[in-house]
Amino acid sequence: MKSMPAPISRRPAAAPSLNSAHGLIAAARMGAAGTLAGWPVLLGRGGFYVVAMSILAALWDKVAAERVPHALVLPAGGLVIYVGVTEWIMMSTPAIHLRLEDDIRSGALEVHLLRPKLYLAQKIAETVGGLAARTSVIAAAAMALLLVSGRTVPAPAAWVYIVVLGLVGGVIVVLLYAVTGLCAFWIRRTMPVYLIVQKMLFLLGGLFAPVSFYPRWMAQVSEASPFAAALYWPGVQALHPSASLFWRALGLQLIWIGLLSGLAALVWRAGLRKILRQGV
Amino acid sequence: MSAVITVQDLRKSYRYAKRGRGLIGALRGAVAPEHQTIAAVDGISFEIAAGERVAIIGPNGAGKSTTLKILSGILEPSAGAARVFGLVPWLQRKMLAYRIGVVFGQRSQLWGELPARDSFALLRRIYDQDAAPFARRLDSLVERFEVGDLLGQPVQRMSLGQRMRCEIIASLLHAPSLLFLDEPTIGLDITAKAAIRDFITEQAANEGQTVVLTSHDTRDIELVCDRVIVINAGRIVVDQPTDQLRRQFLGRKLVTLQSAAARIVIDLPGIQVRPSAPHTTILEVDTRLVRVEQVIAAALKDGGIEDITIEDPPMEEVVREIYASTHQ
């Protein structure tokens, strides 16, 4: 018989520790490793970004050439870089709602509930890890495309603003998708909610055009929304890079991260109460 | 011996909205839904002592999985009380998680696209384990389960048997004192099943772990557990040591004779001949009517016997008999 495993010290303390930073970082690393392990998909995503951006660049170049009034006030080629930023964020965000829905519907959630750490926090940390891996690869594709296109490259400060706001914007999209996925506790299939969130990202988020193009009242509503915090505000740094705009955008983003985290926690608790009573 | 699990008059019922047929039925269900209540667990009580290996068995829908879920803290009962290590599972689920290990045969706790090694590393963080002793324990489990070559392989590319070995390692990494196993050998081949059973038995014996197992494979119950709780329609119908259960419900032995002759004929009361291949005679002996040694003596009297095997009837037959008796 082989030797028995040595007993180990464990910490079933009076109360279990909350999700430690170490645990969440480990989950994020796991998410990043999982995303990188699927490197063919990641490369495909980078390739698709190049194709999508080539089409959108052609569209916005034509808009500029046709002298559409709004396009005239923007820097030459700025709209293309704006859309490059918003697409970069959207295409980098992993589909956490599908994973949550799958775990809830299939009953796989039970396995996670048997652990001493909060499932939702672990899942979000994993997804943010995946987001970090994707943003790096797609950013490389975007930079290559930008250099090949011969367009004017934004100033170095603008890049810092774009990267920071882009990553935080990605986290906002993750949280929006997380709340969407948690709806599976009640509606089982979250596609209808996802479609609404996605369309709101397109429209109020300004995925294809800055929300400043909208009528004034609509632009104001959009700019204050979490959708614009995720996409428009990072993208606008490609058009009008400024420190004051950056801090304003970052502040708005952090407010939305707080609100959406609270919403996700509330929805999670309600869903958990439901399945603890009724089963998965 | 102190009780690790105490269950008193535990009940769990589910309420469903009945759905009518067709469009009219759907509309009626939406406007004035009719509800139906089903008792999945209907007033069960038992205790499990430290170090016991207990099988909870029953037909599909009997309430065994519901019981296991309540005891592991992922389902609230409708009434009654239960304590595991003195904790109320559904109220102190996370605290209890440090002390229990759970294996669901049909669900994975590993990250499919990543190597098992990465899953184990994350589980260390999840269970707040210190690095050095954790590494020693992992090494030891990996050696005993002979999965050293598999650690770098993505879990989704493993065979079911390989994955199940890694699943059990994952459930033991935090050194739980209580192991819940839900169909741990489902879908495995004979060799893999034997390896899993041996490991569970050895592990429980050496570390004094308490094991609660559900399975439809009666060999799991026979070879791993020393006590069986049979649940049917949400109620406990039998709670006995495994050996006693087998004897009480059948009181029979299977005597297999290998012979030069195509068939051995024995004329004694309480014997039934079961179908078998030529040169093999399988006798079902009712030990309340005739002793096994009388049967063997009668077989040897005619000569030509090459081999004799005496076995208890398979557990499956025991279970079938129990279900039949409780339905009468």
pLDDT in tens, A123-136: 999 999 999 999 99
State which residues form the domain around B216: 3-246
Q: What angle, 0 to 180 degrees and rounded to 10, lies between the N-to-C axes of helices B116-126 and B160-172?
A: 20
Instruction: Give the closest of B97, B107, B133 to A6, CB-based.
Output: B133
Question: Judging by beta carbons within 10 Å of its beta carbon (0-12, 13-18, 19+), is residue B226 exposed, middle or buried?
Answer: middle
| The predicted structure's pLDDT at residue B74 | 94
Contact A8 B113 (CB under 8 A): no
Classify the C-alpha dihedral B130-B136-B142-B145 as positive or negative.
negative
Q: What residues of B are in contact with residue A114 (Cβ under 8 Å)?
A: 72-74, 93, 97, 100, 102
The answer on B201 and B58 residing in a single domain is: yes
pLDDT at A17 over 50: no
* Chain B contact present for A40, CB below 8 A: no
Q: B75 near B55, Cβ under 8 Å?
A: no
A52-61: long-range pairs with CB below 8 Å, 24+: A52/A87, A52/A91, A53/A80, A53/A83, A53/A84, A53/A87, A53/A142, A53/A145, A54/A145, A56/A80, A56/A83, A56/A87, A56/A208, A57/A83, A57/A84, A57/A149
Residue A90 placed within a domain: yes
Q: Is the dihedral of CA B99, B104, A274, A95 positive or negative?
A: positive
What does the pLDDT look like over B258-289, one tens digit per residue?
Answer: 988 888 888 889 898 988 888 899 998 988 88
Q: What per-residue confidence (pLDDT) applies to A75? A: 60
pLDDT beyond 50 at A16 = no
Residue B123 shares a structural domain with residue B34: yes
Q: How far apart are CA B147 and CA B167, in angstroms?
A: 11
The SS3 call for residue B85 is: coil
B258 with B235, same domain: the answer is no
Helix axes A243-278, A156-182, angle to 10 degrees: 20
Question: Cβ contacts of residue B157 below 8 Å, gap of 6+?
Answer: none
CA distance B71 to A87: 48
Computed on alpha carbons and rounded to an integer, the radius of gyration of chain A in Å comes to: 21
Nearest by Cα to B165 from B139, B185, B135: B185
Residue A44: inside a domain? yes
B121 contacts in A (CB within 8 Å)? 26
Structurally, chain B folds into a number of domains equal to: 2
> Which run of H or E residues covers position A184?
helix A184-187
Task: From chain A, pick out residues whose CB is under 8 angstroms from the CB of B76.
Answer: 276-277
Contact with chain A for residue B27, Cβ under 8 A: no
Average pLDDT over residues B144-148: 86
Residue B64 shares a structural domain with residue B163: yes
In a domain, A71, yes or no: no
Choose the closest CB to A37 out of B113, B126, B202: B113
Domain-located, residue B75: yes
DSSP B303: -
The domain spanning residue B281 has which CATH number? 3.30.70.250
pLDDT at residue A4, as a whole number: 42
CB contact under 8 A, A107 and B202: no
Please give the DSSP secondary-structure letter assigned to residue B87. B
Residue B299 lies in a domain: yes
B323: Cβ contacts below 8 Å, ≥ 6 apart: B59, B232
Stretch among A69-73, B14-18, B269-273, B314-318 having the lowest mean pLDDT: A69-73
Contact call for B121 and A26, based on CB within 8 A: yes
Residue of B14, B71, B75, B146 for testing the chain A interface, max A β-carbons within 10 Å: B75
One domain, residues B257 and B242 = no
Q: How confident is the model at residue A160 (pLDDT cuts 50, 70, 90)?
A: very high
Cα–Cα distance, B309 to B283 (Å, whole number)? 10
Residue B92: CATH number of its domain: 3.40.50.300
Question: Is A73 an interface residue toward B (CB < 8 Å)?
Answer: no
A57-82, pLDDT tens digit by residue? 777 777 777 666 655 555 656 788 89
- Of all residues in chain B, the one with the smallest CA distance to A276 is B75
Q: Compute the Cα dihedral for B127, B129, B131, B134 and give only its sign.
A: negative
- List, for residues A238-252, the tens digit of each pLDDT value: 888 999 999 999 999
Token reading at B87: 């904790």
Domain's final residue, options B246, B275, B291: B246
Q: What is the mean pLDDT of chain A?
A: 86
User: What residue in A sits closest to B67 (Cα-Cα)?
Assistant: A279
Q: Is residue A3 included in any domain, yes or no?
A: no
Q: Which whole number is the average pLDDT over B154-163? A: 89
Residue A218, domain member (yes or no): yes
Q: How far is B160 from chain A (nearest CA, A)?
A: 17
Which residues lie closer than 8 Å to A32 by C-beta, 6 or more apart? A129, A130, A132, A133
Interface of B with A in 127-186 (CB under 8 A): 127-130, 133-134, 136-137, 140-141, 143-144, 154, 172, 174-175
Q: What average pLDDT does this structure show over A147-158?
A: 84
From B226, B246, B266, the end of a domain falls on B246
Angle at A90 between CA A88 and CA A94, to 5 degrees: 110
Q: Which of A157-166, B80-89, B250-259 has the lowest mean pLDDT?
A: B250-259
0.90 surpassed by complex ipTM: no
Mutation for testing the B interface, residue in A110, A122, A275 having most B CBs under 10 Å: A110
Question: How confident is the model at residue A5, as a pLDDT?
Answer: 45
Contact: A279, B75; criterion CB under 8 Å: yes
Neighboring chain B residues of A110 at a CB cutoff of 8 Å: 69, 74, 104, 107
Do residue B107 and residue A108 have CB atoms under 8 angstroms apart? Answer: yes
Does B35 lie at the interface with A, CB-CB under 8 angstroms?
A: no
Q: Which residues of A touch B98 (CB under 8 A)?
A: 10-12, 16, 116
Select from A78, A96, A80, A99 the least CA-distant residue to A88. A80
Residues B262 and B197 in one domain: no
* Run of H or E including B34: strand B34-49
pLDDT of residue B9: 96
A18 pLDDT higher than 90: no
Distance CA B176, CA B210 (A): 9
Note the helical H segments in chain B: 22-31, 64-72, 93-97, 116-126, 131-145, 160-172, 190-207, 218-224, 242-250, 292-301, 315-327
The residue of chain A nearest to residue B118, with distances taken between CA atoms, is A30
Name residue, tokens 């879908």: B187
Q: Model confidence over A109-126: pLDDT tens digits?
A: 999 999 998 899 999 999
Distance from first CA to last CA of chain B, Å, rounded? 36
Range from A171-185, A258-272, B36-50 carrying the lowest mean pLDDT: B36-50
Where residue B229 falls among pLDDT bands split at 50, 70, 90? very high
Please name the residue of chain A whose CA is at the shortest distance from the CA of residue B92. Answer: A15
Using the Cβ of A108 and the Cβ atoms of chain B, whether some distance falls under 8 Å is answered with yes
Same domain, B237 and B255: no
Q: Are residues B240 and B295 in the same domain?
A: no
Q: What is the pLDDT of residue A149?
A: 82
Q: How far is CA B50 from each of CA B5, B137, B204, B229, rounded to the nearest angstrom?
A: 8, 22, 10, 16
Chain A touched by B69 (CB under 8 Å): yes
Tell me if B107 and A111 make a contact (CB, 8 A cut-off).
yes
- Judging contacts by C-beta atoms under 8 Å, the chain A residues touching residue B65 are none
Asked if B200 and B273 sit in the same domain, the reply is no
Task: Say which range, B108-112, B190-194, B248-252, B286-290, has the weakest mean pLDDT.
Answer: B248-252
CA-to-CA separations, A28 to A131, A254, B76, B125, in angstroms, rounded: 9, 20, 31, 12
Q: Specify the pairing of strand B100-104 against strand B235-241.
A: unpaired
| Residue A144: domain span | 17-65+80-278
Please give the Cα distance from B3 to A99 (Å, whole number): 39
CB atoms within 10 A of CB B220: 24
Q: Work out the minimum CA distance from B112 to partner chain A, whole angstroms.
A: 9
* Nearest residue to A20 (alpha-carbon basis) of A118, A161, A147, A145: A118
Closest CA to B64 of B41, B43, B46, B42: B41
Whose CA is closest to B5, among B169, B214, B180?
Answer: B180
Of B246, B268, B285, which marks where a domain is finished? B246
Nearest Cα residue to B18 out of B38, B37, B40, B34:
B34
**pTM as predicted:** 0.78
B320 inside domain: no
Q: Say yes or no: B105 and B190 in one domain.
A: yes
Whether residue A14 is predicted with pLDDT greater than 60 in this model: the reply is no
3 state DSSP class of B11: strand
On whether residue A9 sits in a domain, the answer given is no
Q: Does residue B328 lie in a domain region? A: no
In a domain, B322, yes or no: no
**8 Å CB contact of B133 and A9:** yes
Q: Percent of chain B beyond pLDDT 70?
A: 98
Let me know whether B24 and B132 are in one domain: yes
Least confident range of A21-25, A138-142, A250-254, B206-210: A21-25
Chains A and B: how many Cβ contacts under 8 Å?
126
CB contact under 8 A, B107 and A110: yes
Q: What is the pLDDT of residue A70?
A: 58
- Closest partner residue to B175 (CB to CB) among A10, A23, A275 is A10
Q: Is position A51 within any domain?
A: yes
| Smallest CA–CA distance from A106 into chain B, residue | B107
Instruction: Please report, as a single letter, which amino acid is at residue A243.
Output: A
Are B188 and B279 part of one and the same domain? no
Chain A residue at shortest CA distance from B136: A6
